Structure 1
């Protein structure tokens, strides 16, 4: 465990997105008490973070809920930091509208096979047997526009900008899941913490991260100002809206509704053979 000037170094790995930047603003700018820990940001796309978590690389990391069963031996889920699509979520977009039943016969660009968006797509299609190509999430809209694929599975701020690019939504997987489950949010991302840190450290870091999220929600304007540099050319209005979609009361704490959503999401995936094992879900 790295120690710097007498402080334990905690690497916090997350996506270079406005919602994650918003969450960690208070830590990065020392707006809250960090209890003697030295927090260091590590920025990478979510699929890379999923792969790094398989190796137990970082002390704290954002990962896809889809990836959690594969890292549950090394990590516990933090009870804060969730990204949930509450009647909205990853979308399948295309240049022209077509019936969703045709998706099984289309080539779909996906942002990674360990993403929750990919697992939600498998659940929606009811099969693993479909044509897809893994493309970095921020290049999927371009690939669809250029006709390299028939459709694209978009995550992050693409959900608010695809129409500006002249694309249409074929299916909103968050909306589909909400209707299918009688009102549950679609679990997309969560923060995990390495178990080898020990219970006491895990609980302290959990509390610090929760306080950081609460601070940003209570000081929204300054936190959004900071997050804008990660908003990839979105207007302030769109960035603020996007942050509100994925940093809210479910992010402060999963609550019973959020926990139930994760359990059902992974249980269905396991029963249909899309994941190999169903872990015990422990929240810190």
Structure 2
């Protein structure tokens, strides 16, 4: 049988590696589909999704607001920060007013972290520069930047470089809205047709559940993508972003996505209202 090829884009990080372990290592039958994994940083995947290059991709939920003509959200695969999330760190403690006057390294303008930072600043202008996410902590430590917006495992390791936390945007968002902060999700291209979209979504969900059911093996695989993390720390990080929210957004998770993108539009960051479309 000639299988239909599905290119899957996701980040080379322990949480995504954990999530896709079952598929990447052929741990279950994928029927008429064959999966090829393309590992790139999230901002690169956001940009590729704008061009519709991959059938399935992890994307920032900020980026999704620009992708609704091409992609639908899978109900599985969300990275949700429930009272935690991207952080702004600096070499010294800064007030909010001081931070507004500094140059901040960010992991990309389409990331949800950047959208949330702009919401935190209530639309006030600030100086920033986009650099690869894994270069932000070294760049702040070296003094190249005054502050940095960090994502992924840097949220658990920034203290090792002597950096100070200014704000955890997930904590701030929860305090303001009472909702978790939805950071990234999996999308699938709509031109595949409803049947394929549904079948592939079920396989992605099966991969996530397989990893949760076989945690030790999936974590051992994910450690290959963990920077400066031991098993204990990697397990903590994976638990933060691959959990019940990842199996299904559920009603509250969908409310969180709708609220985030609505606030982005209200503040003029996102040009048009976003109509959420989930795969059935």
> How does the TM-score come out when normalised to structure 1?
0.97
Deviates more, 1:95-104 or 1:146-155: 95-104
Deviations 1:92-137 (A, max 9, x none): 0001112223221111100000000000000000125111111110
Deviations 1:174-223 (A, max 9, x none): 000011112x1111100000000000000001101111101101110000
| Other structure's SS at 2:57 match | strand
User: Which residue is 1:83 aligned to?
Assistant: 79
Residues 1-284 of structure 1 aligned to structure 2 (within 5 Å): 6-127=2-123, 129-182=125-178, 184-284=179-279
Question: Following superposition, which runs of at least 4 residues in structure 1 exceed 3 angstroms of deviation?
Answer: none
> How does the TM-score come out when normalised to structure 2?
0.98
Deviates more, 1:271-280 or 1:195-204: 271-280
CA distance, structure 1, for counterparts of residue 121 and residue 133 of structure 2: 20
The answer as to whether partners of 2:73 and 2:278 remain within 8 angstroms in 1 is yes
Unaligned runs of 5+ in 1: none
Classify 1:238/1:229 alpha carbon distance in 2 versus 1 (closer, same or farther; 3 Å).
same
Deviations 1:231-271 (A, max 9, x none): 12311111111100000000000001110000000001001
| Other structure's SS at 2:93 match | coil
The answer as to whether partners of 1:50 and 1:114 remain within 8 angstroms in 2 is yes
CA distance, structure 1, for counterparts of residue 261 and residue 169 of structure 2: 15
The answer as to whether partners of 2:262 and 2:274 remain within 8 angstroms in 1 is no
Deviations 1:30-81 (A, max 9, x none): 2222122100000111000000000000000000000011111000000000
Number of aligned positions between the proteins: 279
CA distance, structure 1, for counterparts of residue 124 and residue 50 of structure 2: 22
Cα shift at 1:279: 2.3
| Other structure's SS at 2:182 match | strand
The answer as to whether partners of 2:73 and 2:277 remain within 8 angstroms in 1 is yes
| Other structure's SS at 2:4 match | strand
The answer as to whether partners of 1:94 and 1:169 remain within 8 angstroms in 2 is yes
